[in-house]
Structure 1
Amino acid sequence: MIIEAQCDSLLLVAANYSKSIITLKRQLNEANRANSELKETAKEREAPGLKITFIAFIVGVAAGIVLTNLIRKIWQKVF
């Protein structure tokens, strides 16, 4: 940024604006960095996919079959 001024007060205003621009750019970079980190952690915490849901369903069905067979065998011994 190049500023030419003849008045001292105008130079001070321009210097203040220059400092403000530098500060705002730094804050914007930090915010962008934090936003990208949040996106990365959000991707890591995504809900389980269809594959995991299918596996859980199959395990549940298998557990139900095993328990049903065990209960039948136990009741056959009782009666």
Structure 2
Amino acid sequence: MQNKGGTIVVYATCDSLQRQCEYYERQMASYKKALNQQKNEAKTEKERSSNPWKRLLIAFIVGVATGIVLMILTRKIWQKVF
């Protein structure tokens, strides 16, 4: 068994040891695949909600528009009453 630049190299002559090495290689490949998928999902999620200022601006505009609409409706209702 050797360690070459972060990679463990195992030489096996026994069939059971060879099967064990192949099992761990498959496990490692599936873990790498899952890790890459999680990285991609995290990157996508970060891109979706990347700009909090944009959300703040949209919320402000919606708030102002709601205030204007409510003010107009309130004035119309009060004009009918008086």
Q: Give the TM-score taking structure 2 as reference length.
A: 0.54
How do 1:1-79 residues align onto structure 2 when only pairs under 5 Å count?
1-3=9-11, 11-46=14-49, 49-58=52-61, 60-61=63-64, 64-65=67-68, 68=71
Percent of aligned pairs sharing the same letter = 31
Give the distance between the partners of 1:30 and 1:67, measured in 2 at CA: 53
> Unaligned stretches of 5+ in structure 2?
1-8
Larger strand share, 1 or 2: 2
**Count of residue pairs the alignment pairs up:** 74
Give the superposition deviation at 1:39: 0.6
Distance 1:3 1:49, change over 3 A: closer
Greater RCO (Cα-Cα under 8 Å, separation 6 or more): 1
Distance 1:55 1:15 in 2: 60
CA RMSD, 1 decimal: 3.2
* Structure 1, unpaired ranges of 5+: 6-10
Q: 1:52 to 1:46 in 2, by over 3 A?
A: closer
Structure number with greater Rg is: 1
Question: C-alpha displacement at 1:31, in angstroms?
Answer: 0.8
